[in-house]
Amino acid sequence: MKSVFVHNDNVSKFCDICEELESPESMIGPSLAIVSGRAGLGKSESAKFFATQNSSVYVPPLNTRTPAMILREICFELCKARPFRTDDCLILIATEMAKQRRLVVIDEADLLGLHVLECLRNVSEMYSFPILFIGEGHQLDSKIASRRRLSSRIRRRLEFGLITQADILQYLRRALDVKVSPEVCSFIHRFCEGNWRPLLVLAAGIEKALKASGANEISMNLMKQITA
């Protein structure tokens, strides 16, 4: 099975927000943004994809982060250094952002403490760089809304939608190089409930079944056997 990234509507909107934040024009006005949605819709993969296309900084999830830990992680992504002292982290971030203003993407921000989010907001303003927070919708929104200093600085918001039948069709055709009928695609869409993760597991099962049968098209009978 091929490793495939589907550039769907969610991804396009995600990249649009990131590009706006990276633009010099975004230095006027709020410098924070939120991308939310339930788990499994592709938020993290979209962030990783965008980071590979340019110089943005992607900070992976870790719900035990302290302000010092997250500043070290930003430093590491900026220049592969992890200063121990917070002051040294701030000096390094200031130096690197002066060379090139870069977007910082914080994944699973809903799991971080408010003191960490406040720290990031403060550092973002001190050194004039934008931050994009990613997280579960209600948890992240309510946490941000509880602090006016945070909520008033949100420039853009995006909620990821469920994956579509078109997304599933594109993924299966590219990952498995197989024919997929509208009936089968509709069945898979209902089974996955709009989530990428069940689809990835299902695709592995489909590949195994196709190899065993020698077929090159996914039939309804095959799908019912796999999902039984």
Q: Two tokens at 42?
A: 């592709």
pLDDT digits (tens, 9 = 90+) for 68-125: 999 999 999 999 999 999 999 999 999 999 999 999 999 999 999 999 999 999 999 9
Q: Class of 165-227 per CATH?
A: mainly alpha
Cβ–Cβ under 8 Å, residues 133 and 33:
yes
Q: Where are the domains of the chain?
A: 9-159, 165-227
SS3 content of the chain, % helix, strand, coil (to 5): 60, 10, 30
Q: Two tokens at 139?
A: 């948890």
- CATH number for the region 9-159 comes to 3.40.50.300
Q: Which of 64, 62, 40, 35 shows the shortest CA–CA distance to 50?
A: 35
pLDDT digits (tens, 9 = 90+) for 22-40: 998 888 888 999 999 999 9
d(CA 177, CA 46): 23
Tell me the one-letter amino acid at 37: G
Residue 208 backbone dihedrals phi, psi, to 5 degrees: -65, -45
Cβ–Cβ under 8 Å, residues 225 and 209:
yes
pLDDT digits (tens, 9 = 90+) for 60-69: 988 778 999 9
Q: Kindly list the distances between the CA atom of residue 70 and the CA atoms of 74, 86, 107, 124, in Å, as whole numbers in the listed order.
A: 6, 10, 11, 13
